[in-house]
Amino acid sequence: MMSMTCHNLDFGTRVLDLVAVGSSSNSSIERYAVKNHGKTFATKVYGARRMVCCRQNISRTRVFSTNTSEALLNGVGQRTAPVLDLKKEAKSPISLANLFEVVADDLQTLNQNLQSIVGAENPVLMSAAEQIFGAGGKRMRPALVFLVSRATLELVGLKDLTTKHRRLAEIIEMIHTASLIHDDVLDESDLRRGRETVHQLYGTRVAILAGDFMFAQSSWYLANLENLEVIKLISQVIKDFASGEIKQASSLFDCDVKLEDYLLKSYYKTASLIAASTKGAAIFSGADRSVTEQMYEYGKNLGLSFQVVDDILDFTQSAEQLGKPAGSDLAKGNLTAPVIFALEKEPKLREIIESEFCETGSLDEAIELVKQCGGIERAQELAKEKADIAIKSLQCLPQSDFRLGLEDMVMFNLERID
């Protein structure tokens, strides 16, 4: 049985729909396939929802949701049994290389431009930027800009990216990088993607200045795009970063934090930038407002799903896999979705957290309680709910390799917790 509570939070000019999900189900993903004229069709069942995938070849999977919008708002329908006698099929995981293949040339150009637009006249800041640009980042945000740009260009009959599309991707990655530098200072993190952080190598002063400089430089390039709607959109993201940090700092070790608060903080810190990336790309393609709003919804819900998955991995992966100590968020008092769900069932977990792990071994005990009380499973359901909404937002786009890449991005994120 699954329960779902919908919250509509209005802040400024935007409305953020937050869906709180509870589930007593431990359902794993079920896969089925049937051959038909050389194509493979797979049905994925996530808890009580179904996603149908039409696969053309082993490396590409097309996904569309069978849910209705009413089901998302009013509850989750019953699982539909397969009509045909289907056989289970093991599906090859989606790789980033395959996922980004259709925009590989665009990403290569971006990588060549990133360091030059930071500004060679600041060698110390340039060196700090190189440290994080070269730290093995996925370039997910600029890839999303390119995928949405090319998918929406087909709607308006254009064939290639504009200079503004490419500059937007560079600006987005600069803003993301600046936020990471500042995050590492605030979190006192020594490692980022398995490498020493900027403040660890160059000191806090240089790290703060490097982040500030990149925010300022990105703002200058943003102003030169001369599109007021996009300028407002991206400027709000920088404000959201600060709001998210303040919200997080004010609720450390607070066991009464609500899921809605966690989702809003996750929006500020993660989903806001992704939503702005995808909407901004559609705006520069000249797409209709209805399409640009759907691209915003796609980015917002993908971002929320991505953050929930990251918070799950903080409990399920090793320090070597994470590139930072496991359970580091919990150790610092940052209570994420798995913890919030586990607190509903285990009073002892509250006692340990409110003691701020003063006793030896108490952090490890808290991590085990989160796992034992179903916090991980319920967080997985939340990530899948957000992923389902993201997939539905792509229905306004024509079928193409670029739309397929956007769908695969959602599935890639979920596969991290398979």
Q: Residues 106-139: pLDDT tens digits?
A: 998 998 888 677 666 667 777 776 666 665 567 8
The pLDDT assigned to 45 comes to 41
Rg (C-alpha) for the chain, rounded Å, is 21
Residue 229 to residues 156, 174, 291, 292, Cα–Cα distance (Å): 19, 19, 15, 11
The two tokens of residue 13 are: 């000019």
Number of H helices, E strands in the chain: 19, 8
CATH at residue 182: 1.10.600.10
Q: Residues 40-62: pLDDT tens digits?
A: 334 444 443 444 444 344 334 44
- Say if CB 296 and CB 374 are below 8 A apart: no
Domain containing 144 equals 96-416
User: Does 56 map to a domain?
Assistant: no
Short-list 302, 281, 289, CA closest to 225:
281
Question: Residue 140 contacts by C-beta under 8 Å, 6 or more apart in sequence?
Answer: 409
User: Does 86 map to a domain?
Assistant: no
The confidence band for 183, taking pLDDT boundaries of 50, 70 and 90, is confident
The pLDDT assigned to 335 comes to 98
Assess whether pLDDT exceeds 90 at residue 102.
yes
DSSP class of 189: -
Determine the average pLDDT of the residues in 173-187. Answer: 87
Q: Residues 403-415: pLDDT tens digits?
A: 999 999 999 999 9
Question: Residue 403 contacts by C-beta under 8 Å, 6 or more apart in sequence?
Answer: 151, 394, 397
User: Does 89 map to a domain?
Assistant: no
DSSP class of 119: -
Determine the average pLDDT of the residues in 246-262. Answer: 96
Higher-pLDDT residue of 116 and 140 is 140
User: Does 4 map to a domain?
Assistant: no
Tell me the average pLDDT of the chain: 79
The pLDDT assigned to 284 comes to 98
Assess whether pLDDT exceeds 90 at residue 103.
yes
Q: Residues 275-316: pLDDT tens digits?
A: 999 999 999 999 999 999 999 999 999 999 999 999 999 999
User: Does 285 map to a domain?
Assistant: yes
User: Does 224 map to a domain?
Assistant: yes
Number of structural domains in the chain: 1
Find the helix or strand (DSSP H, E) in which 30 lies: strand 30-36
User: Does 104 map to a domain?
Assistant: yes
Assess whether pLDDT exceeds 50 at residue 83.
no
Predicted TM-score (pTM) of the model is 0.77
